[in-house]
Structure 1
């Protein structure tokens, strides 16, 4: 059991540590990040319950609508909504890179609990593949979401509502693409490899841009 839990939790912690340590200019309070991680972890259960109820009620006419469109949208919406109401106006969200950290944190909280439940059901044989795909993809969806939240709050040259909308729409689109590829039986791996390479490139580009905005933000405050 300890080995299984370690295998389920380790990928999320490793990915979060990577994004956290990239922030060399300022240190975000660990307590707030832990709270955000826990928000994501707790979200797993109402989302799974909602998915179960709607499935049992036969709301969805086909598997694509249920497993791709609905699942992708509802997961990202709940994470976006919690960040918007609980974190966006928080006093400790005080620089552009913070959004990225909070986005990664809430996504990895969700992905970690989901991973624990999955490995408890199907065993350790799938641990490596899940670390490469669901856990890392959730982390990168969160990075993209958090980047746009940071841009909405701290960029003077962007429209607030547009960036907050992008914080939801961008990860939803990426998540839909990810789940669409998984829905292809037999040949999904040939599409997943280039998609994951693109997702890592896109996510790391947002990390680089968020770090640049952080440097600009700190430089501006030094002048003041």
Structure 2
């Protein structure tokens, strides 16, 4: 059963990566760096899972109680903080900022890449424990959700206004990714069809405007001849 699980979890992440990678037309990022970031994103699921396991019971209580304050805490300052924090830590450690992020769209590309890597292994774990149908759902929704959270965060690494230092850019991008991830999880944790649909709508809106932003930055690329 492992092969079908791999096909429904890892393969969609790779296919989405190829799709987004081809959007960077003028000076595509080195494939070895993209592969390193994608695989690193997968690896970050391990420490994220370990940290989140420590608060598993608290999250269950928060979701069951309907306490908005607790749900907010776990959505933004626990799950979102851990997962986006690890993604941006990976980008800081594995990407040569001045060499590889030399085009306005590059930050989005790397943000999407680490998000898809993270989603791929996370999806595999969910598919193995919760079933094939869950894997199919997550192959689309969760992959794109993670891609948009970290993709919008990545936007601020190479575009999104002039900040005085690389450190400020990373903190800004991390904050943006954390906000969207936290808001998405907050909607999901409310456990109602209406707010779950709201999470889907949020993902669609973020994805639509991310496509538009990538197109805009590609047109403004210094390598566009």
In the alignment, does 2:223 pair up with 1:218?
A: yes
Q: CA deviation at 1:118?
A: 0.6
Alpha-carbon distance in structure 2 between the residues aligned to 1:37 and 1:193: 24
| Long gaps (5+) in structure 1 | none
Deviation string 1:85-106 (CA, Å, 9 cap, x unpaired) is 3315363333222222211111
Q: Secondary structure at the match of 2:123?
A: helix
Does the 8 A contact of 1:51 with 1:71 survive in 2? yes
Query: Does the C-alpha gap of structure 1 residues 59 and 135 become closer, same or farther in structure 2, counting only changes over 3 Å?
Result: closer
Q: How many residues are treated as equivalent by the alignment?
A: 213
Paired residues for 1:112-127 under 5 Å: 112-127=120-135
Alpha-carbon distance in structure 1 between the residues aligned to 2:59 and 2:144: 30
Could you tell me which residue of structure 1 aligns to residue 199 of structure 2?
192
Could you tell me which residue of structure 2 aligns to residue 25 of structure 1?
26
Does the 8 A contact of 2:152 with 2:176 survive in 1? yes
Does the 8 A contact of 2:144 with 2:203 survive in 1? no
One of 146, 163, 182 as aligned partner of 1:138: 146
Give the TM-score taking structure 2 as reference length: 0.84
Could you tell me which residue of structure 1 aligns to residue 8 of structure 2?
7
Q: CA deviation at 1:129?
A: 1.6
Q: Secondary structure at the match of 1:7?
A: helix
Could you tell me which residue of structure 1 aligns to residue 66 of structure 2?
none
Give the TM-score taking structure 1 as reference length: 0.84
Deviation string 1:8-43 (CA, Å, 9 cap, x unpaired) is 112211211111111121222111110111111111
